[in-house]
Amino acid sequence: MEESAHRRGDKKVVAVVGGGLVGALNACFFAKRGFEVEVFETREDIRKAKVVKGRSINLALSHRGRQALKHVGMEDKIVSKGIPMNARMIHSLSGKQSPIPYGKKGQYILSVDRANLNKELLTEAETYPNTTLNFDHKLQDWRAETGLMTFARPDGSKTQTQADLIVGCDGAFSAVRKQFLRRSRFNYSQTYIPHGYMELTMPPRNGEFAMKPNYLHIWPRNTFMMIALPNLDKTFTCTLFMPFEEFEKITTGDEVIEFFQKYFPDAIPLIGAAALRRDYFRLPAQAMVSVKCSPYHIGDKCVLMGDAAHAVVPFYGQGMNAGFEDCIVFDEIMNQFNEDFSVVLPEYSRVRVPDDHAIADLAMYNYVEMRAHVNSKWFIFRKHVDNLLHLLMPKTIIPLYTMVTFTRTRYHVAVERWHWQDKVSFFLLLFNFPL
Amino acid sequence: MEESAHRRGDKKVVAVVGGGLVGALNACFFAKRGFEVEVFETREDIRKAKVVKGRSINLALSHRGRQALKHVGMEDKIVSKGIPMNARMIHSLSGKQSPIPYGKKGQYILSVDRANLNKELLTEAETYPNTTLNFDHKLQDWRAETGLMTFARPDGSKTQTQADLIVGCDGAFSAVRKQFLRRSRFNYSQTYIPHGYMELTMPPRNGEFAMKPNYLHIWPRNTFMMIALPNLDKTFTCTLFMPFEEFEKITTGDEVIEFFQKYFPDAIPLIGAAALRRDYFRLPAQAMVSVKCSPYHIGDKCVLMGDAAHAVVPFYGQGMNAGFEDCIVFDEIMNQFNEDFSVVLPEYSRVRVPDDHAIADLAMYNYVEMRAHVNSKWFIFRKHVDNLLHLLMPKTIIPLYTMVTFTRTRYHVAVERWHWQDKVSFFLLLFNFPL
């Protein structure tokens, strides 16, 4: 075992556990403040890896995420490699496509490539001379009293390092969080939804996107649904969401085609029947979990951020955005309390827990809405009414989706306001407010 | 390491992890069916121990628990050492005492001594020749594929044993459950309530109970409350429930007396001022957790029961009763499916999860009701109305408390019925049904 010193010189050491999206971004935030930053990542360096395993291929970047990237000077670079999506594009069973805008004209979310974003963030973190990236370091254990961490290396050896602050950004199955679970009065829940997801690729058609690119395509089918996001290489990544039992019922290529024929007939020629028959069986459907916990800190030594603190189901497109916003919120509290961890950490838990719980609940709510209600005339009517009311009274009525996606309104405030607005707009409708 | 064989002769081996209340009772259930039963308990044999540490001193035994004890021929023995409590006895601030019966005449719950009950159950389990009790065995790890368990012994050595079925009855902080948490699609939540509890003893007065013995005494004080249960030695165990911050505010003996003077003046002479000043600081307030999870099984090898599956807050007096009923429900399903673990275990999860979740929610609901509403005239009026309606229409209106406490109505059915009855009795009140 080797041991590295903490507080190198007069700089405090911040260990960021996890070199995924939130970990890499957070490293930049802490490096910018002048801390000695050490990032520890279980996997090898994805920039050198041949096959990158893991989570979904593309993500929807919106305002909160962009603000965080802006803070470390990365917004333009990332946005330039994203594809704007101005509206949902609803595919009916008959193949009819109807757009529902996300917000006002000019408001859009961005389809970004997860792997590329992660690589760019790691490279950016490395530009800070006070940051070191340590790959192939799997956290085995850590002590809340001392900040001492033990990592396992691929050769079976162990390394120990001590830090003044441990920032757990190691995802939904966080190793850092395990220590929290052993302590009294830590509230925790993990909820798996009955649906799994499967990704399928829709190739380009004659060198162009096979469908209109500037949309998030949705095939809502009540108990299940498919969505598609555009990629820079002119493919779409289609994600099929369906209860695990339904996935398991389909066991042959013929059954795949039969299933798509019944529910997504317009997608068959676009994905290709042969590819469908093959790719459906490439990987089993993946599980989705919603994790909530509180508090996010232990003493003045450790704090959880990103999915480690609040994994959400993907139906509001806010998982990464919420994780990125964590970095800003923490940074704001660091300013407020002069980087005094003993005050900053409890304050961060106090401020951030209700917002993360709110977005977790909203994502769960949208899990039903996206596949079941998006279809209904009432939903479409309400979306139009909300957008119209927003146009007429831009400061009074702000659609929930707008608050969540295009502002930094605290998530829990957005939810409270939504409930209030819902009542108000009901009355406006009732009394025939001039629409 | 030594290793014990499984399937001794043609008997399947059932390992019960945990020799607490549910573990010891479950051992009797499995032994009765003819399995080779091995009980593994972390602590030493409490029948030989000088100081028994652990959970609260007394418990409320009611119908479900009694039915389970009856199944293994222990009901009379345990009931004879319990003290019947026919009603709640509400202590107002002025010291006035008002009884609210638990049910009809002759219906009562029993105050039983936890340590004695546990000892009796262990002794009963040992009467089966096919049962072995292994104390000082702390579960370290187990394999869901093989049923192989590794235990740590006090001398630092390790033992391995294999079983056909592992029954995790090892309480709210279950070591068996840790393995479940590592698996995908296991739903889990642990919620600590803001209240802690502290036990204080009210000694006998002139050789007799200091208050009327056949009652569960309650001092409801909105944000906090105290309860007292009678013991065979003519003491009462008083339990003070209060938010942790409030506990922490009281730091001197004078402040304890001042606090009791303000909220529980009638209890001071009964507990004794000197004892109060001393005992308040004997132990810190203890936390209370509500644990829910699902499913309760892994494959055909392991199942969770009792607090390991569903720790509840103590406000419905059903923690032990629900755990004991688990044993009956499992036993019934064993009959139904001829002890085929591969069918019995999933069926047990399917049947029991909704009931355990219902009682966990009810206990949480009562956490508010007991300390806040019990005080109100409306609550007392409703209790009387419910009891009266029950008398008039015994098959139509059954108070929730009666269904939970004096029947084996499935918990989730009791809750559904309660919601329905609530509407019905509201209308009966509204239309002046002849009361």
CB-based contact (8 Å) between A420 and chain B? Answer: no
The answer to whether residues B164 and B16 belong to one domain is: yes
What are the E-state strand segments in A231-307?
236-243, 286-294, 297-298, 302-304
Chain A partners within 8 Å of B245 (Cβ): none
The answer to whether residues A197 and A278 belong to one domain is: yes
CB-based contact (8 Å) between A189 and chain B? Answer: yes
With CB atoms and an 8 Å threshold, state whether A185 touches B191: no
> What pLDDT was estimated at residue B6?
53
The answer to whether residues A177 and A230 belong to one domain is: no
With CB atoms and an 8 Å threshold, state whether A287 touches B185: yes
CB-based contact (8 Å) between A287 and chain B? Answer: yes
Confidence of residue B7 (pLDDT cuts 50, 70, 90): low
The answer to whether residues A266 and A335 belong to one domain is: no
CB-based contact (8 Å) between A191 and chain B? Answer: yes
The answer to whether residues B224 and B304 belong to one domain is: no
Q: Tell me the three state secondary structure of residue B106.
A: coil
Confidence of residue A369 (pLDDT cuts 50, 70, 90): confident
In a domain, A28, yes or no: yes
DSSP A128: S
pLDDT at B376 over 50: yes
pLDDT at B4 over 80: no
> What pLDDT was estimated at residue B202?
97
> What pLDDT was estimated at residue B383?
75
- Rounded to a whole number, what is the distance in Å from the CA of B187 to chain A's nearest CA? 5
Domain final position from B256, B287, B318:
B287
Q: What's the rounded Cα separation, in Å, for the pair B242 and A361?
A: 29
CB-based contact (8 Å) between A92 and chain B? Answer: no
Q: How many CB pairs under 8 A join A and B?
A: 31
The answer to whether residues A143 and A170 belong to one domain is: yes
Residues A248-307: pLDDT tens digits? 999 999 999 999 999 999 999 999 999 999 999 999 999 999 999 999 999 999 999 999
Helix axes A411-430, A377-392, angle to 10 degrees: 100
- Rounded to a whole number, what is the distance in Å from the CA of B137 to chain A's nearest CA? 20
Q: What's the rounded Cα separation, in Å, for the pair B88 and A374?
A: 52
In a domain, A343, yes or no: yes
Query: What is the average per-residue pLDDT within B97-112?
Result: 92
Torsion of CA B144, B149, B150, B153, to 10 degrees: 140
Chain A partners within 8 Å of B197 (Cβ): none
Chain A partners within 8 Å of B188 (Cβ): 188-190
Domain final position from B287, B319, B351:
B287
Q: What's the rounded Cα separation, in Å, for the pair A14 and A36?
A: 6
Residue span of the structural domain in which B278 resides: 193-287
Q: β-strands B236-243, B224-230: how paired?
A: antiparallel
CB A408, CB A331: distance < 8 Å? no
pLDDT at A134 over 90: yes
Chain A partners within 8 Å of B186 (Cβ): 190, 192
- Rounded to a whole number, what is the distance in Å from the CA of A35 to chain B's nearest CA? 34
Indicate which CATH number applies to the domain containing A163: 3.50.50.60
> What pLDDT was estimated at residue B222?
86
In a domain, B98, yes or no: no
Q: What's the rounded Cα separation, in Å, for the pair B396 and B380?
A: 21
The answer to whether residues A230 and A203 belong to one domain is: yes
With CB atoms and an 8 Å threshold, state whether B188 touches A188: yes
Q: In the predicted model, what is the mean pLDDT of chain B?
A: 92
CB-based contact (8 Å) between A183 and chain B? Answer: no
Question: Burial level of B419, CB count in 10 A (0-12/13-18/19+)?
Answer: exposed
pLDDT at A5 over 70: no
- Rounded to a whole number, what is the distance in Å from the CA of B11 to chain A's nearest CA? 36
- Rounded to a whole number, what is the distance in Å from the CA of B316 to chain A's nearest CA? 21
In a domain, B154, yes or no: yes
B244, closest residue in chain A (CA to CA): A185
How many domains does chain A divide into?
3
**Sequence-separated (6 or more) residues with CB below 8 Å from residue B293:** B177, B180, B186, B187, B188, B189, B304, B309, B310
* Top-confidence residue, A1 or B119: B119
With CB atoms and an 8 Å threshold, state whether B186 touches A190: yes
With CB atoms and an 8 Å threshold, state whether A191 touches B187: yes
The answer to whether residues B279 and B142 belong to one domain is: no
Query: What is the average per-residue pLDDT within B136-148?
Result: 96
In a domain, B206, yes or no: yes
Which range among B140-154, B332-346, B419-433 shows the weakest confidence by mean pLDDT?
Answer: B419-433
- Rounded to a whole number, what is the distance in Å from the CA of A27 to chain B's nearest CA? 28
CB-based contact (8 Å) between B190 and chain A? Answer: yes
In a domain, A435, yes or no: no
Residue among B180, B187, B283, B290 with most chain A CBs within 10 A, to mutate: B187
The answer to whether residues A310 and A173 belong to one domain is: yes
With CB atoms and an 8 Å threshold, state whether B187 touches A188: no
Task: Choose among A219, A390, A358: nearest CA to A290.
Answer: A358
pLDDT at B156 over 70: yes
CB A325, CB A377: distance < 8 Å? no
pLDDT at B133 over 50: yes
**Least CB-CB distance to B188: which of A185, A189, A287?**
A189
Residue among B182, B190, B293 with most chain A CBs within 10 A, to mutate: B190
Q: Tell me the three state secondary structure of residue B136.
A: coil
Bridge partners (DSSP) of residue B46 are: none
**Least CB-CB distance to A190: which of B187, B191, B287?**
B187
A173, closest residue in chain B (CA to CA): B182
With CB atoms and an 8 Å threshold, state whether A287 touches B184: yes
The pLDDT > 90 percentage for chain A reads 80
CB-based contact (8 Å) between A192 and chain B? Answer: yes
With CB atoms and an 8 Å threshold, state whether B190 touches A187: yes
> What pLDDT was estimated at residue A135?
98
In a domain, A388, yes or no: yes
- Rounded to a whole number, what is the distance in Å from the CA of A76 to chain B's nearest CA? 38
Query: What is the average per-residue pLDDT within A402-424?
Result: 91
Residues A19-69: pLDDT tens digits? 999 999 999 999 999 999 999 999 999 999 876 555 568 899 999 999 999
